Amino acid sequence: MRFTRDERGGRPPALRHDPRPARPAAAVAAVLAALLLAACGGGGAAQQVVDVAVNHEVEINGLEIRIARVVVEPGGVLVDATVYNPGGDPRALLLGGCGPSQGRVSTGDGWKNVYYQVRPEGDLGGWIQPGERRSGVIALKPAEELDPGSVTRVQIHPGYVLNTATGELELLQVMLSLEEGGA
């Protein structure tokens, strides 16, 4: 039951019944604790986002791949990449379906698997014609929420590169360091 002060003029405040439901003390305490932690900089790891410029270049089966940056959020890893086919034959970048996971991240608690997510906008996958350059994002979702500040390395192996002239298929696999000075 909740009571408020009577707002009738001139009289000493009296208590009257308020029909609104009372807020449980535990819920109020939890809200206050969360606000206090947020104000003091604590408890914010789950909201943290790490954005690292990695500028990593690799050639896989005749396809040049440049990874500009990696963004680690609690709900996933975003790899900003550009692919370029400098050769005379088409290449195919086949993303997804490479085993139980398509990458992993290194944290203080060990390695955690991440899984490729198909994204309709800016998808890098598919046929890449000679001279074609394409930019997009490789999105990877973790099996469990990540603490972005604890991620030190990202290993991706989200698919394969097919050389259409030779029929050769090569795994796209890259290890990226997110620590200062890493490559």
Same domain, 19 and 93: no
3-state secondary structure labels for all residues of 118-183? CCCCCCCCEEECCCCEEEEEEEEEECCCCCHHHCCEEEEEEEEEEECCCCCEEEEEEEEECCCCCC
Same domain, 28 and 76: no
pLDDT digits (tens, 9 = 90+) for 29-47: 444 444 444 444 444 444 5
pTM strictly above 0.75: no
Same domain, 114 and 28: no
Same domain, 86 and 164: yes
pLDDT digits (tens, 9 = 90+) for 123-136: 788 999 999 999 99
pLDDT at residue 5 above 50?
no
Residue 156 CA to residue 154 CA, distance in Å, equals: 6
pLDDT averaged over every residue in the chain: 78
Percent of the chain with pLDDT over 70: 67
Tokens representing 97?
């379906």
Per DSSP, which regions of 19-152 are E strands?
50-60, 63-73, 76-84, 91-95, 103-107, 110-117, 126-128, 133-142
Percent of the chain with pLDDT over 90: 51
pLDDT of residue 143: 86
Is 169 part of any domain? yes
CATH code of the domain containing 98: 2.60.40
Is 183 part of any domain? no
pLDDT of residue 128: 95
Angle CA 53–42–103, to nearest 5: 40
Domain containing residue 73: 47-177
3-state secondary structure of 95: strand
Same domain, 70 and 146: yes
Q: What is the DSSP letter of 39?
A: H
Same domain, 169 and 112: yes
Same domain, 63 and 22: no
- Of 122 and 160, the one with more pLDDT: 160
3-state secondary structure of 62: coil
Query: Once rounded to an integer, what is the mean pLDDT over residues 41-69?
Result: 83
Closest CA to 138 of 163, 161, 114: 114
Same domain, 133 and 94: yes
Same domain, 159 and 125: yes
Same domain, 23 and 87: no
Instruction: Please give the tally of structural domains in the chain.
Output: 2
List the single range of 39-53, 125-139, 140-154 with lowest mean pLDDT: 39-53
